[in-house]
Structure 1
């Protein structure tokens, strides 16, 4: 397994970890308004999911402007339950897993036309690392939102993942 793939596994594990914590709380927490980066935890989760989908499309050959146009409206698609988010993340994670199996050379570059920053040659690994960094940032937002709503969050640091993942022979 390569390092970007392991980091993606961490990203998936950390997302499921925070979803598991939210699932332990009253159902209302998902849609309870809070004065933070997002109006609700559901909004934060929808944003993370939309961006994960967008980067998947870019990795599979869709231009970034087209992928943004397809996925950014999904920021506003709020799901009713944590289970709904978990199901969607599981489906997307399976797509990424298949993608990783088909891409051995993650140092391969593509011409990324980022409407926010310009055009540059970008390796597939850089895109994967950005995706993971983006998720980490927003899981931190969700942890803060949970605290603002009077609930503890849960550790989902990469160093904890080292101990939580199954040993590889």
Structure 2
């Protein structure tokens, strides 16, 4: 049986790698070119995705949301210099998520999430994982818009394309 949360994490990692690889193939100046929508630069958008992914990882590993936000705020505000730095940071964090996911069998387990922006609620670990993926999708879309604003093409990172990038596995009925 497919672990859909693991599959979504694999998709999120693939989509980030795909978009980072696309931007890496463009002139290096694109990363820090000023844009008039979403984020100041594509680098700032990549920093935001990374910072929020890191914040949720810290929450999943036992840090309070308030502490996780404080720990990642500087990541959100500061753009890295090169796309290679982003590739490395994203790969390291993806490995941390995979390790965390492999060590958790009950993703329906709930934690008390005290979100300073939305309030307190019991939240399933699986919901947090889906939030990571949907948040990344939203902001990868911002980066696509920013690339188009700069007169450049983006690259497709749809979940359906991810299906075709993976080897076909036959499941038992």
TM-score of the superposed pair, with normalisation by structure 1 = 0.97
Aligned partner of 1:7 in structure 2 is 8
Find the counterpart in structure 2 of residue 58 from structure 1: 59
Q: Which residue of 2 aligns with 1:34?
A: 35
Q: Secondary structure at the match of 2:72?
A: helix
Cross-structure match for 2:94: 93
Partners of 1:166 and 1:48 in 2: CA distance: 27
Residues 101-141 of structure 1 deviation map (CA, whole Å, 9 limit, x = unaligned): 10011000000000000000000000000110000000000
RMSD of aligned Cα (Å): 0.9
Aligned equivalents of 1:157, 1:125: Cα separation in 2: 21
**Structure 2 residue runs without a partner (length 5+):** none
Q: Which residue number corresponds to residue 112 of structure 1?
A: 113
CA distance in 2, matches of 1:112, 1:50: 18
SS at match of 2:151: coil
Matched residue, 1:18: 19
Specify the alignment match of 1:133 in structure 2.
134
- Residues 63-98 of structure 1 show CA distances to partners (whole Å, capped at 9, x for unaligned) of 001100100221122111111100000000110010
Q: How many Å separate the matches in 1 of 2:13 and 2:168?
A: 17
TM-score (norm 2): 0.95
What secondary structure is seen at the aligned counterpart in 2 of 1:135?
helix
1:161 CA drift (Å): 0.3
* Partner of residue 45, structure 1: 46
What residue in structure 2 maps to residue 102 of structure 1? Answer: 103
Q: Residue 62 of structure 1: SS of its match in structure 2?
A: coil
Structure 1: which 4+ aligned runs deviate by more than 2 Å? 166-169
